[in-house]
Copies of this chain bind each other. A is one copy, B any other.
Amino acid sequence: MTEKPVASTTAAPRKSRKHLPAETEAQLESRDRRRFLRGSAAMAGGAVAAGAAGVAAAQALSIPDSNKSMGKAMPATEYGTPSQFEKHVVRRRTDVFVNRQNWSDWSMTPLQHQPGIITPNGLIFERHHAGTPDIDPAKHRLVIHGMVKQPLMFSMDDLVRYPSVSRFHFHECSGNGLTDWLKPASKTVQQTHGLLSGCLWTGVLLSTLLEEAGVDPAGKWVIFEGADGSAHTRSLPMEKCMDDTMIVYGMNGERLRPENGYPVRAVMPGWEGNVSVKWLRRIKVTDQPAHFRSETARYTDPMPEGKWRQFSMVMECKSVITNPSGGMVIKGPGFHEITGLAWSGAGKVRHVDVSVDGGANWREATLEEPIMDKSLTRFKFGWNWNGGPATLMSRAVDSTGYVQPSVAEIRKVRAIVGFVQHHNAIQPWSVNAKGEVSNVIGQI
């Protein structure tokens, strides 16, 4: 994929360079954020060139065509869709690895176009092992069985009657970034980090249902099985199931989408995406993990001594700069807001540092409220680009004190061979003197 750079998300043309303040980074450091932003704002405006007052006044008097005609009339009922001018904002299948079939495949979220911490349902990334089934909710049943006092069977009508919870959590595939460990294979942040979305999930705590079923004290593991063509299955420890695991039917204010598990799925907050089994039809309490294919041949981590680590399901603390990011062009020196996302499967994001010089110096970014447990957190950092080469990086720290590592640091403790999962390393983006932004993972 060669994504066309979208100027509107990154690069406002500057009409005049003569207003550039002569501040150095060090001087900026010494000023308070309020004054910095005020100064920056004055730089960013496209209208501040000489003669702009006249241009602006003329524009204010000029009546656009849209003022002179009626718009689209309102239909009786509708589910709205994006503007025709936003057709480039879509989820995309990877093209780094091209599959011959598209049933076991994945699509990626255009993070470079996502403001805030929510991904619209139409853009949430997908990962299916056998395509998307289309399940009639009136016929679907969820069963809890195995080592329980009383097996239970739920229709969707039953499930929605239970006490509900709605919680913001990120969702990330364990394979996010696996193409880009030691050298750049991908160009855009959609390709490097787009197996990531943020969502307000609604459902029932699994603990509520398991308490009703009555778990045998020897039941230490729980098996989840999907109703899709792959009958996707995973074993999860009872402790997580009784903690914050949700049985989910709603996302972002409506029912699940088919590709996200309609009509019901599991959500294990902060854990690798594939354990949150979609199209959920069966939950079986057992005394040990089942060692399914997705727990042995897949979703494991090669270690230096030649062994493979199983059940490494927590998605560790991570961050990425989404604007500017790979494939974009920064059109001129001056103020730019560097912004991105940070998250941790172990808790809340505590802070994010940003470097514009490849890691030589780091400064703290501003985190935007609300900062929630195992949720995407938006960070921002005002940057005064001097027009020269730069390397942008972000590094997140979570509420446990864990610091996002570099690839080099991960290599000290894990083997990076083959399709390696769980890539939470720092992502560097290089900016050249033309303002072109490119992926330089492993190159600095």
Given the complex of chains A and B, what is the CA–CA distance between A293 and B397 in angstroms? Answer: 53
Q: Are A143 and B209 in contact (CB under 8 A)?
A: no
A68 to B8, CA, bound (A): 46
Alpha-carbon distance between A187 and B48 when the two chains are bound, in angstroms: 54
Which of A106, A116, A231, A253 is most buried by chain B, counting CB atoms within 10 A of its CB? Answer: A253
Is A46 part of the contact surface with B, judged by Cβ < 8 Å? yes
Task: Bits for A62-81, please: 1 = Cβ < 8 Å to B, else 0.
Answer: 00101111111111111111
Given the known interface contacts A70-B229, A79-B90, the answer about A120 and B254 at a Cβ–Cβ threshold of 8 Å is yes
Report whether A161 and B335 are in contact in the complex, using a CB–CB cutoff of 8 Å.
yes
A414 within 8 Å of B (CB atoms) = no
| Cross-chain contact A56 with B152 (CB below 8 angstroms) | yes
Q: Which of B76, B160, B168, B282 is within 8 Å of A60, CB to CB?
A: B282
Q: Does A28 contact B (CB under 8 A)?
A: no
Q: Does A91 belong to the interface (CB within 8 Å)?
A: yes
* Contact A53-B151, Cβ < 8 Å, known A134-B71, A163-B382, A337-B162: yes
- Given the contacts A37-B163, A137-B85, A115 and B46 also touching, CB distance less than 8 Å: no
Contact in complex: B77, A92 (CB < 8 Å): yes
Contact B102 A74 (CB under 8 A): yes
Per-residue CB contact flags for chain A residues 361-401 toward chain B (1 = under 8 Å, else 0) read: 00000001010100000101010000000000000000000
Q: Which residue of B lies closest to A72 (CB)?
A: B132
Q: Which of these, B56, B130, B252, contacts A71 with CB under 8 Å?
A: B130
User: For the complex, is A185 an interface residue (Cβ under 8 Å from B)?
Assistant: no
One of A121-129, A175-183, A405-413, A420-428 at the interface: A121-129
Cα A336 to Cα B160 in complex, Å, equals 9
Whether A66 pairs with B228 at a CB distance below 8 angstroms is yes
Tell yes or no: A443 within 8 A of B by CB. Answer: no
What are 10 A-B interface contacts by the 8 Å CB criterion? A12-B158, A44-B162, A45-B212, A71-B130, A77-B93, A84-B134, A116-B166, A116-B202, A123-B253, A166-B368
